[in-house]
Amino acid sequence: MKQLSLFAMALLLAASIASCKKDTTNGKVVFGNTHGMSITSYDSTFHPEQYGHFSWGNTVDLDGDGENDVQFRSEDIGSAGLGHDVVTTLNCLNENIALLGDIINQENYLHIDSTSHTEDSIWWVIGVYYTYTCERIAETDSVVSMTEKLSLYANNANDGFGNDDTFMSTNVVLKNRSYTYPCEPEIGDHVTICYQISNENNCDVFPMDEAKYIGFKINENNQSRLGWMKVILHHDYVELLETAIQK
């Protein structure tokens, strides 16, 4: 009877240990707290080639299973007329990886403005300006489209998250570019009308030049593992400092 009692106690202890392990795997994660986390340190900078239509991407295997999960991509795009600038994105490479944030329906607007003046008292010059933006400039701006997207969280150390938070497997823009096309004039009888189109991509704003944590969740074998990427976004490149995932 004593041996049976000891055996039962051993079973209860094993179940308790298994339960604790399960809680550690699926519980809340605090950014920067390495307890129960597998940490990988990096000394990586992801640069685009300057002043050329060159895209550069670096892939990262977050859970060590031999399959790349995310890609940091920086692309130097533009032209002599529009100028050059770098667009940086973070891309999910498979459906098992999802990023931490809010899923929003972003409205995109068209703002129309105009100016006019005369030259030599007989010639009218009229400017018509079309600005596409994700923020309403005036109450008269019209909604031209609506996009479902992930508003990515830029987290600080000691912030926390869990499985019940919102995740999305998608591509997100960390840094975008705004640009204006040259004027296209139409010349008529004593009048010149100049049409100009601008794109103000100012809603994809990830903090720059400071270390931030990007949370993620990986689903595999019907289980979820949480983790983070610690990065610094610069004007034309990204630094990856470390990744972490639950053991």
pLDDT tens digits, 175-232 = 987 778 888 888 888 889 999 888 888 787 899 999 999 999 999 888 999 999 999 9
Examine residue 114 and state whether it is found in any structural domain, yes or no.
no
Residue range 159-176, pLDDT digits in tens:
999 999 999 999 999 998
Q: Is the pLDDT of residue 11 over 80?
A: no
Query: Which of the four pLDDT bands, split at 50, 70 and 90, describes residue 69?
Result: very high
**Tokens standing for residue 48:** 């685009």
* Distances, alpha carbon 4 to alpha carbons 1, 12, 15, 138, in Å: 5, 12, 17, 79
How many structural domains are present in the chain?
1
In this prediction, residue 240 carries a pLDDT of: 92
With contact defined as beta carbons under 8 Å apart, do 119 and 125 qualify? yes
Domain that holds residue 218: 2-101+152-178+203-246
pLDDT of residue 25: 38
Residue 216 belongs to some domain of the structure: yes
Q: Taking CA 29 as the corner, what is the angle to CA 92 and CA 219, rounded to the nearest 5 degrees?
A: 40
Residue 139 resides in a domain:
no
| Distance separating alpha carbons of residues 211 and 238, to the nearest angstrom | 11
pLDDT at 10 over 70: no
Distance CA(169)–CA(62), nearest Å, equals: 14
Distance of CA 6 to the CA centre of its chain: 54
The mean pLDDT of the chain is 83
155: pLDDT strictly greater than 50: yes
Alpha-carbon distance 63 to 38, whole Å? 9
Is residue 124 in some structural domain? Answer: no
Regarding predicted confidence, which is higher, 183 or 71? 71
Q: How far apart are CA 224 and CA 63, in angstroms?
A: 11
Residue 75 lies in a domain: yes
Q: Judge whether 66 lies within some domain.
A: yes
Backbone angles phi, psi at 3, to 5 degrees: -65, -40
Q: What is the pLDDT of residue 126?
A: 87
| Domain presence at residue 117 | no
Residue 111 lies in a domain: no
pLDDT tens by residue, 84-100: 678 899 999 999 999 99
pLDDT at 247 over 80: yes
> 233: which residues sit within 8 A by CB, 6+ positions away?
88, 174, 175, 206, 207, 208, 209, 212
* pLDDT recorded at residue 80: 61
Reported pTM: 0.77
